[in-house]
Amino acid sequence: MRIPGYLFFLGGTLAALGAGWAGFPHVIYQSRPQPVDFSHKVHAEKAGAKCEDCHAFRDDGTFAGVPTLDKCSGCHAAPMGTTQAEKNFIDGYVTPNREPQWSVYARQPENVYFSHITHVKLGGLKCEACHGDEGATDKLRPYQQDRISGYSRDIWGTAAAKGMKMDDCVDCHRKHGFEHSCLDCHK
Amino acid sequence: MFTPAPWRLITDTALWSENWPGIPRPASGEIKTRYTHCALCPAGCAVRARLVGSQPVALMGVPAHPLSLGALCPFGLTGHQLPYHPERLKQGPEHEASAAVAGAIAQCAPGERIAVLDLRPGRTASWTYRRAMAAVKNGVYLTAPQPLEGAAVNLAAARTVLSIGAPVMEGWGTPGNVLAARAGFRLIQAEPLESRTASLADLWLRIKPGSGRALALSLIAQLEGKAMPAQAAAETGLGESQIADLAGELARNGPALVLAGDDVPEAVPLNRLTGAWGKALMARAEAPVPDSWKKAAPPAGLASVPDGSIRALLIDESVPGDYIPWNAIAPKLVPGNPVVVVFAWSRSGYGRHAQFTLPAAVYPEMTGDAPAAIDSPAAAFRIFTPLVPAPSGMVDPAVFIASAAGIDASGALRERADAIHKAGRGTLFTCADVKSRPVKELKPEDFWKALNEGGCWMDAGWQAKPPAPLVEGTRWQAKAPASQEASELPLLVALTDLPGSAGLVSPLMSKLYQESNLRLGRNRAALNPASAAACGVGEGAHAMLQTVLGQRPIQVTVSPSVPPGMVEVGASPEILDICGAFSRARVAQS
């Protein structure tokens, strides 16, 4: 039986669309695990920690970002609990005083200037507005990096969080009437 | 086309191209603030540096600083780019130079000398050179001639300022201090070209090139009530009545301060007659030094050294200073095989003439100190705290010269700071908390720590002492040109100051200023359209600037702001080597 030509075309189109929509994201990103099995949820619920307790602003208003080991060691000088993750953290980082090499999901490219304090303190934005529900997760996602550009996948947006592309910033600024100039971010 | 794949590939490829090798990447890390002082000129302005991680990314002034008052010139603002200058020396024959100097010291005959030429005297390194030369047989410490014979100026006390070619508004003194004092005095600028200072002055007197001395002598005669020297007025290009009016204004609206370069030594006696002496002009005060240093060699001028007598000459060109043309230095060297060692950031200055050019750290890598600037009546002491470490292979001139002389100068800065602290005078200003504290209230350790964090010591209760008498031979005399026939050399040379003795300017600034012709570059000359036409050159033409001392390739800029019959050139070392103060030249197509 002769297969109609349009079926080949249809099949090819579907295969191409499947590859483009479903296969491509798997190919373009490479994943790597975070160095420590960290739970935001445990810290928020059991330790009562708020975002700014660890992701603090310095006295001069700059954002300290991911806390350094000093901050962790303040509570974790000795193991807190008996989990394997805690043991690994103490043995692998706290005891040898080795800084974990975190991969920052929201790291912006070098040509962008972003002020956390302007957005959080002045603009009153919640952390979740950009970072999604990261603060409530029980496990850190693997970090996904674009093989070509080197950017984090979170810049483009994920199912969990809105993207942090320039268009996303512009949309929000436009919505709130803060559309000033390119130099606000590209100094 | 209907999936994200091709569009993402296009975007990603564009982003990928931003990360190619060789593309500069901004530093990342914690943003920090550090304070230091600028080493690019003797003003030593206070600098607030913004660092990302350990990388300085922006320099700015310190608004509350009592000496620099928050100002920083364009060269200082871009100082953090200097370590990346393409002409920078990375290595040099240190061991060979050390052996050659040791050999020269050992073989120095009774009539011969071992000399250090210091282009910026008054620093702690300068004291090390003086101590080293005192420790060496036949050692002599030479300095570049200082404007106004090394006196200090109090601009705030002047009601009139007559500047004979001094770039008062463009790098002379401490920029912040000059700008702050500017409203309090009437500025009269006498110079051949309409410089930036001339354009900002209350009155610009266009005098002929090289006629500064004639103007000073004419004014002295007028103020003393004597007849004006014959031809002096004609030499300046001003009328006798104009000079008489100027003298009258200086006498009426005093204290009237007369500023000039070292080529007008009459400026000092002129200041006596105008009433500036002891009020707006006074002896330069110096920060205390340890008692053990006071047996150092005294400063001497190049003219005081006999011709053919310097066996070994060590030149500290690591900090920009006044360039003495090589034709004034070369006759002082012994014939045959003198040892000349230069410490410099590039080979564009004295390195062109030296046997050994050793690489020196540049600001903001270098450690050193700044004495009081010319416009600071009180003694001061500030440290250039490095913002970035110097690369390996850099040679510290003070350490090299001290080692050659067999003295220990490794802790000289600390010793000087302790001596200042021991004297117990003055106050310490700290930038971080914007406070001044009496030195007496500080412990030596705290004083030293604060100095290294950008602190500034200033003496208190300065007294307006008259300047010290002239030291014989402190003025260099360029070798007189054999003949300067106007027919052969039809153009008068007007030199425009360049920052630093050897063009130590940020590569970015060089591009902005020089390629856009906002400021004459090192090898550019400006001619009036009529003069350019007479020379047969046009805009952008490559030509030769010829004087009786030699020739240099130049690129021509045609500018109606240059009077006919003159050629304006940037005073780079290459140009200064062939142009004296009053040179004639011709421009010919190359």
Answer yes or no: are the C-beta atoms of B133 and B116 closer than 8 Å. Answer: yes
Please name the member of B18, B28, B31 whose beta carbon is closest to the beta carbon of A62: B31
The rounded mean pLDDT for chain A is 89
Both tokens of residue B579? 């142009």
Residue A106, classed as helix, strand or coil, is coil
Q: For residue A106, give how far its alpha carbon lies from the nearest alpha carbon of chain B (Å).
A: 15
Q: Phi and psi (nearest 5°) for B330?
A: -55, -40
Size of interface A-B (CB pairs under 8 A): 45
Q: Please choose, from the candidates B376, B366, B367, B368, the residue with its C-alpha nearest in 3D space to the C-alpha of residue B286.
A: B376
Secondary structure letter of residue B465 according to DSSP: P
Q: Do A150 and B16 touch (CB under 8 A)?
A: yes
Answer yes or no: are the C-beta atoms of B40 and A56 closer than 8 Å. Answer: no
Q: Does A16 touch chain B (CB under 8 A)?
A: yes
| Residue in B1, B3, B57 to test binding to A, most A beta-carbons within 10 Å | B3
Whether the upstream peptide bond of residue B563 has omega within 30° of 0, thus cis, is no
User: Minimal Cα distance from B20: which residue of A?
Assistant: A149
Q: Do A110 and B28 touch (CB under 8 A)?
A: yes
H or E element in which residue A144 lies: strand A143-146
Bridge-partner residues for A113, per DSSP? none
Q: For residue B431, give how far its alpha carbon lies from the nearest alpha carbon of chain A (Å).
A: 16
Q: Do A24 and B19 touch (CB under 8 A)?
A: no
CA distance B576 to B550: 11
Q: Do B12 and A24 touch (CB under 8 A)?
A: no
Please name the member of A28, A62, A151 whose beta carbon is closest to the beta carbon of B15: A151
Q: For residue A157, give how far its alpha carbon lies from the nearest alpha carbon of chain B (Å).
A: 13
Mean pLDDT, 10 residues at a time, chain B of 590 residues: 84 85 76 93 94 92 93 91 91 95 94 94 95 95 86 93 92 92 95 90 91 91 84 85 92 92 86 89 90 93 93 93 88 93 93 95 93 92 95 95 94 96 95 93 96 94 56 40 63 74 70 69 88 91 90 91 87 84 80
Q: Do B5 and A20 touch (CB under 8 A)?
A: yes
pLDDT digits (tens, 9 = 90+) for A72-112: 999 998 898 899 999 999 999 999 999 999 999 998 887 88
CA distance B54 to B63: 24
pLDDT at residue A2 in the model: 77
CA distance B129 to B246: 43
Answer yes or no: are the C-beta atoms of B573 and B502 closer than 8 Å. Answer: yes
pTM for the structure as a whole: 0.80
CA distance A172 to A164: 10
End-to-end Cα, chain B, rounded Å: 60
Both tokens of residue B516? 């856009």
Q: Do B3 and A24 touch (CB under 8 A)?
A: yes
CA distance B550 to A71: 68
pLDDT at residue B263 in the model: 80
Provide, as residue numbers in chain A, all residues whose Cβ is less than 8 Å from the Cβ of B3.
16-17, 19-21, 24
H or E element in which residue B49 lies: strand B46-52
| Residue in B7, B9, B12 to test binding to A, most A beta-carbons within 10 Å | B12
Instruction: Tell me: ipTM over 0.85.
Output: no
Both tokens of residue B346? 């590039």
Q: Does A83 touch chain B (CB under 8 A)?
A: no
End-to-end Cα, chain A, rounded Å: 66
Task: Tell me how crowded residue A169 is: count the other CB atoms within 10 A of its CB.
Answer: 18
| Pairing status of strand B203-205 against strand B186-190 | parallel
Q: Please choose, from the candidates B298, B308, B2, B356, the residue with its C-alpha nearest in 3D space to the C-alpha of residue B143.
A: B298
Q: Does A17 touch chain B (CB under 8 A)?
A: yes
Helix axis angle for B124-135 and B397-405, nearest 10°, is: 20
With tokens 């912006």, the residue in question is A108
H or E element in which residue B532 lies: helix B529-535
Provide, as residue numbers in chain A, all residues whose Cβ is less than 8 Å from the Cβ of B15.
109, 146, 148-151
| Residue in A10, A27, A149, A185 to test binding to B, most B beta-carbons within 10 Å | A149
Q: Do A19 and B3 touch (CB under 8 A)?
A: yes
Any idea how long chain B is?
590
CA distance B106 to B109: 9
